[in-house]
């Protein structure tokens, strides 16, 4: 099964976003970390993690957010929130940030 990782996120961001020259390692890392924080304690679908991270990256880079982007972001957020909780110590994590638009 595919894992959510920073290198795949970098590849997707560079191929999908219109201004790849704006994408820095620190911004990618930030979007990646926010995605992991948002889904902490949940077994979230991989597609939702990548969609969430890419939309967070667009927001961090202050790129225009289309209606389609908003729908992708909202669907990813809902998929992560509906994902089943993990068993064991991971489910003790609590989301500490608000990830709204």
The domain segmentation of the chain, as residue ranges, is: 6-84
| 50, burial (CB in 10 Å: exposed 0-12, middle 13-18, buried 19+) | buried
- Higher local confidence (pLDDT), 51 or 92: 51
Question: What residues are paired with 85 via a beta bridge?
Answer: 42
User: Rounded to an integer, what distance in angstroms lies between the CA atom of residue 101 and that of residue 98?
Assistant: 9
Percent over 90 (pLDDT), the chain: 68
pTM of the model: 0.82
Pull the structure tokens for residue 90: 């991971």
Q: How many residues does the chain have?
A: 101
């Amino acid at each position: 099964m595919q894992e959510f990782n920073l290198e795949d996120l970098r590849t997707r961001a560079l191929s999908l976003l219109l201004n790849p020259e704006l994408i820095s390692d620190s911004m990618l890392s930030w979007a990646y970390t926010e995605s992991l924080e948002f889904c902490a304690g949940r077994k979230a679908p991989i597609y939702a993690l990548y969609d969430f991270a890419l939309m967070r990256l667009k927001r961090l880079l202050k790129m225009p957010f289309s209606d389609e982007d908003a729908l992708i972001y909202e669907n990813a957020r809902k998929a992560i929130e509906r994902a089943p909780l993990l068993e064991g110590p991971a489910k003790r994590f609590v989301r500490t940030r608000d990830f709204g638009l």
